[in-house]
Structure 1
Amino acid sequence: MEDGVLKEGFLVKRGHIVHNWKVRWFILRQNTLLYYKLDGGQKVTPPRGQILLDGCAITCPCLEYENRPLLIKLKTRTSTEYFLEACSREERDAWAFEITGAIHAGQPGKVQQLHILRNSFKLPPHISLHRIVDKMHDGSTGIRPSPNMEQGSTYKKTFIGSSLVDWLISNSFAASRLEAVTLASVLMEENFLRPVGARSMEAIRSGDLAEQFVDDSTALYTFAESHKKKISAKEEISVSTVELSGRVVKQGYLAKQGHKRKNWKVRRFVLRKDPAFLHYYDPSKEENRPAGVKGNVQGNLFKVITKDDTHYYIQASSKAERAEWIEAIKKLT
């Protein structure tokens, strides 16, 4: 990494004039966030633009786009808004942490507070969010949405924050109310849950890195509709649910060479185990389904990376990242 660079990597950025989404290479320095256009999966100099961090406000998680739950919003001193999407919750939080640190570089107390927040409760690796949500939907033992009132308004099919915290503890998904609140925040950040009404929305708008979920009988939540959408028969054939049922062990942005035109495009790759598959997605599209499958990892691995690690069709953004991907894939073959 170059001198003075705090973090660098791929993020998906919303366009200012035409609100389309494009992958850009971002470099974070102490007072600026630079972004570059890509050619062949590599950054093109000079930078396409820069975001001045002095006086900037950061919102993470940003829930303004229902189908993009991994967003960071930056609002500059001049009120220009930037929407940036990461490839995973961990990567989004890492970017938010580093950017917030750069914004508050002159305030050691604030930076120390961020370190404490970052090192607080982590979701145990054996807990599957999909399993929790499936159990929440269970007709007999799950969470039953019902009409609830807040400030004189009635909201259908909602549940209160403290009820979900009680449920997570009683089903042994969390050992304490603090853990349950953190887990509920994660479910919301990953777009499984949605805040409803003024009380829960107010916590989201605060923009702090502290917990976003409210353990309270006045805060209302509901299931996010985007996870109930039916997929077409054509999509069902092209994407096997068995393929997508494995646990995610690694994900990130990588440049992939096209099969026919041999051009390079950045894709979000997801490596799953039990069963082992490597899928890739077009990050500029909103639908969260594979744009392609590199097949069962066991059978097609070396169509991606050669055995001697010299000739490959997928390009990582650094030698260290390439080594991490190779190591992760080798463990599944």
Structure 2
Amino acid sequence: METTKKNTILREGFLVKRGHLVHNWKPRWFVLMPDKLLYYKYKGGKRDSCQRGKILLKDCAITCPFLEYDNRPLVFRLQTKNATEHFLEACSREERDDWAADITAAADKLRTGGGGDESGQTDPAGSHFHDINLSKVLDSMYDVHSGITLTNHVEQGSTYSNCFSGSAMVDWLVFMQLTLTRTEAVTLASALLEEGFLKTVGLKSVEALRTGGEQFLDDSTALYSFAENFKKRGTVKAETSLAAVELSGKVIKRGYLLKQGHKRKNWKVRLFVLRSEPAFLHYYDPTKDDVTPVGGFSLRGCLVSALDDNGVPSGVKGNIQGNLFKIITQSDVHYFIQAPTRQQKMDWIDAIREQI
């Protein structure tokens, strides 16, 4: 009976989390349980079955609102029993306050009733890291005298040059005292891989990344190399700015949804904002701290419709979760959007139809 209670889902949805290693922001799917807060990554258009982290709620403290980020007013902070800080951003003030209230209620129950999971207080990001600069780590890896050694490897008959194994990378990070343990080294190497500083080479590392398991392998047969385009990282903002009138309407609805890209057809979490008078739907990149939408369109003359979750509709790519809907603009641009739940899909469709 106790197990059933602990496995009860109190709340779930998207929040944007600040990383421990590198202070970037990434959308994650959070699941609130009676004694812990779990989070997952969305791989393509589907939630990863592999848990990415766990925040234990026993004796944690919640600060809401947390106003130290000028450009992120919707952040709240969780501080665990061992003083590890987690910064989470919601899509609206209502969502932020509801999440904070539910987490506080769960923590209060643990405080008065005892119990809870005592098996560690932090997520895999590790609490020993402090403001590690990934660019500096990369510079150290390139150092002629003390950097990581590049060698040739043979895997299943194919020769790969100028690369290194996962275990060699972990050995080097620990030897250079950039991390204290091999587990922390894997976390740091995973961050380098996720940020595009490193790339997978050969079948084993490529397959590990594709299947969504451990991101970086501490393995002598898993191969990696420097990414050729790491110096080109960053995004170039469009020169044309949105007309102020587009953003002047009253905000009707806000929320995190998944959007399929027009060119690469990949799925990314975006913050959607629906406005009226004039009726526009804009979407923002939640990893950025600016207030400029990455896209948007007028709802005048648009068509919006729900898509059947049985099978993959025409025009949709990837391993999708479901709860799809489509918007066709007056200029015949097709937007494929995925909501986290069926109810949210219907709510968005109804809200958009009211503005058309």
- After TM superposition, the score normalised by the length of structure 1 is 0.57
**Equivalents in 2 of 1:304, 1:312: separation in Å?**
11
- Cross-structure match for 2:343: 320
Is 1:264 aligned to residue 299 of structure 2?
Answer: no
The amino acid of 2:355's aligned partner reads L
> Once the two structures are superposed, what CA deviation does each residue of 1:233-259 show, in whole Å capped at 9, x if it has no partner?
x97843111111110111100000000
Deviations 1:248-305 (A, max 9, x none): 1111000000000000000000000111000000000010111001333433656999
Q: Distance in 1 between matches of 2:300 and 2:314?
A: 18
Q: Do the aligned partners of 1:40 and 1:255 also contact (CA within 8 Å) in 2?
A: no
Within 1, Cα distance between the matches of 2:52 and 2:111? 30
Cα distance in structure 2, aligned partners of 1:96 and 1:258: 32
Q: Which residue of 1 aligns with 2:13?
A: 9
CA distance in 1, matches of 2:314, 2:256: 19
The answer on 1:289 being equivalent to 2:312 is: no
Supply the distance in 1 between the matched residues of 2:314 and 2:257 (Cα, whole angstroms).
Answer: 15
- Any stretches of 5+ residues in structure 1 without a counterpart? 109-233
The whole-number CA distance in structure 2 between the counterparts of 1:248 and 1:236 is 25
Match of 2:81 among 66, 77, 84: 77
Mapped to 2, the partners of 1:245 and 1:301 lie a distance apart of 23
1:106 and 1:82, CA in 2 relative to 1: closer, same or farther beyond 3 A?
Answer: closer
Indicate conservation of the 8 Å contact 2:26/2:287, yes or no.
yes
Task: From the superposition, tell whether residues 288 and 264 of structure 1 become closer, same or farther in structure 2 (CA, over 3 Å).
Answer: same
Over the aligned positions, Cα root-mean-square deviation in angstroms equals 2.7
Counterpart of 1:299? 302
Amino acid at match of 1:326: I
Provide closer, same or farther for how the CA distance between residues 298 and 91 of structure 1 changes in structure 2, counting only shifts above 3 A.
Answer: farther
CA distance in 2, matches of 1:312, 1:78: 48
Aligned to 2:245: 242
CA–CA separation in structure 2 for the residues paired with 1:63 and 1:304: 40
| Residues 171-228 of structure 1: per-residue CA shift (max 9 Å, x gap) | xxxxxxxxxxxxxxxxxxxxxxxxxxxxxxxxxxxxxxxxxxxxxxxxxxxxxxxxxx
Any runs of at least 4 consecutive aligned residues in structure 1 with deviations exceeding 2 A, and if so which?
A: 234-238, 294-305, 310-313
1:273 matches 2:276? yes
8 Å CA contact 2:7, 2:34 repeated in 1: no
Instruction: Percent identity, please.
Output: 55
- The CA deviation at 1:311 is 7.3
Pair 1:10–1:70, CA change in 2 (3 A): same
Report the equivalent of 1:89.
93
State the number of aligned residues: 204
| TM-score, L = length of structure 2 | 0.53
Decide whether aligned partners of structure 1 residues 297 and 23 sit closer, same or farther in structure 2, where only a CA change above 3 A counts.
farther
- The one-letter code sitting in structure 2 at the alignment partner of 1:265 is K
Tell me: CA distance 1:14–1:107, structure 2 relative to 1, closer, same or farther (3 Å): closer
Task: Give matches, 1:213-252, under 5 Å.
Answer: 237-252=240-255
Deviation per CA, 1:72-119, whole angstroms, max 9, x where unpaired?
1000001100000001101101101111111012578xxxxxxxxxxx
Partner secondary structure for residue 256 of structure 1: strand
Larger Rg: 2
Work out whether residues 304 and 312 of structure 1, in 8 Å CA contact, stay in contact via their aligned partners in 2. no
Residue segments in structure 2 that go unaligned for 5+ positions in a row: 1-5, 113-236, 317-336
1:12 to 1:18, Cα distance in 2 relative to 1, 3 A: same
Give per-residue Cα distances to partners, 1:102-147, cap 9 Å, x unaligned: 1012578xxxxxxxxxxxxxxxxxxxxxxxxxxxxxxxxxxxxxxx
CA–CA distance in structure 2, aligned partners of residues 101 and 35 of structure 1: 19
> Relative to 1, partners in 2 of residues 1:329 and 1:80: Cα closer, same or farther, differing over 3 Å?
same
Contact 1:276 1:298 in 2 (8 A): no
